[in-house]
Amino acid sequence: MARFRLPAAGGGSSTDMAWQRFNLADVTTEISNTGLNAVSQDTSTGIWTVSIDTGDTKKLGSGAAWAFNLSTLWAWDDLQWAAVAIEKCGGSNIASSEMYLFAGICPQANATFSTSSAVGFMQDGSNVDNIDVGVFHGYAASANPSYSAAQAGLKGVFGGFHVGPGNKMLNATASSVSAFGDPSTWLYTKRATGTVAITGDDSDFGFFLAAGRNNSSAGTSTLEFRAHYLVSGKNADFFPDNDG
């Protein structure tokens, strides 16, 4: 069976459609570092460790945020669907910190960070295993994510984003993954919809990670996680132009 391959932006060599790891070494822009105490990544396991010592950074990008520009691999005209997956691996002082982590897609993966779509989670309640599933779809500078009620026993979140005709971001859907059972159980789904115009050009397209806290609790909160992204695209062999 033929492998599904993506054309690179500008007609260059193709790239396999596969899960890619968010790596600290691949950050192209530090969008914001408000409240950021420290950030590191174990390159062998892929686990990030992010420490936040300032609260009340509810809006994505108002805390710590990092951009990953992918313009050399994919263009908006090729993109139909993208996905992210986040695995919570541990942490300290996060039980009632309301610390959040989101992964998303944005037309301008740079310091402006004006439009985005994202999925993630927030620590909720006194139990370290309780997290809220969150989604965001719209303009990062003017709104907060929408959260579920606290969900018990979750180990991560998977989410997808759809891009429609005319290069419009249409929705973000997040599903939470149980920490119990084999196979894992999908426990909760949360969705945000709306037609969001993509105003950035292809040279700015990319993904981002955002972390922060929703309260101003004392001390430093540290979250450990792994995150991955996946993009689909238009393939000339499977979706030929209507040229007769």
Write the CATH number for 96.
Answer: 2.60.120
> Residue 5: its pLDDT value, please?
39
Comparing 78 with 176, the larger pLDDT belongs to 176
Mean pLDDT of the chain: 82
> Residue 233: its pLDDT value, please?
67
> In 28-170, where does DSSP find H-type helix?
none
- Winning range, highest mean pLDDT, from 38-52, 152-166, 194-208, 214-228: 38-52
> Residue 15: its pLDDT value, please?
54
> Residue 102: its pLDDT value, please?
96
Euclidean distance between CA atoms 121 and 47, whole angstroms? 17
Q: Is residue 31 part of a domain?
A: yes
Indicate the SS3 state at residue 212. Answer: strand
Overall domain count for the chain: 1
Comparing 72 with 191, the larger pLDDT belongs to 191
Q: Which tokens hold the place of 77?
A: 């005209």
Sorted by sequence, the CB contacts under 8 Å of residue 66 that are 6+ apart come out as 24, 27, 29, 30, 31, 208, 209, 210
Q: Is residue 151 part of a domain?
A: yes
> Residue 83: its pLDDT value, please?
94
Q: Is residue 241 part of a domain?
A: no
Q: Is residue 108 part of a domain?
A: yes
Sorted by sequence, the CB contacts under 8 Å of residue 218 that are 6+ apart come out as none
Q: Would you put residue 176 in left (φ > 0), alpha (ψ -120 to 50) or beta?
A: beta
Euclidean distance between CA atoms 54 and 52, whole angstroms? 6
Sorted by sequence, the CB contacts under 8 Å of residue 23 that are 6+ apart come out as 41, 43, 46
Comparing 161 with 214, the larger pLDDT belongs to 161
| Over residues 202-226, mean pLDDT | 87
- pLDDT tens, position by position, 23-59: 999 999 999 999 999 999 999 999 999 999 987 788 8
Confidence grade of residue 234 (pLDDT, cut at 50, 70, 90): low
- Res 18 pLDDT > 50: yes
Q: Is residue 12 part of a domain?
A: no
Q: What percent of the chain has pLDDT over 70?
A: 85
> Residue 240: its pLDDT value, please?
46
DSSP codes, 132-159? EEEEEEE-TTT-PPEE-S-BSSEEEEEE
Nearest partner of 159 among 99, 115, 117, judged by Cα: 117
> Residue 16: its pLDDT value, please?
60
Sorted by sequence, the CB contacts under 8 Å of residue 182 that are 6+ apart come out as none
- Res 191 pLDDT > 80: yes
Q: Is residue 14 part of a domain?
A: no
- pLDDT tens, position by position, 104-152: 998 888 777 778 899 999 998 888 888 999 999 988 767 789 999 888 8
Euclidean distance between CA atoms 192 and 162, whole angstroms? 11
- Res 237 pLDDT > 50: no
Indicate the SS3 state at residue 202. Answer: helix
Indicate the SS3 state at residue 204. Answer: helix
> Residue 179: its pLDDT value, please?
74
> Residue 45: its pLDDT value, please?
96
Q: Is residue 5 part of a domain?
A: no
Domain range enclosing 65: 22-215+225-231
Q: Is residue 13 part of a domain?
A: no
- Res 159 pLDDT > 90: yes
Pairing of strands 99-106, 116-123: antiparallel
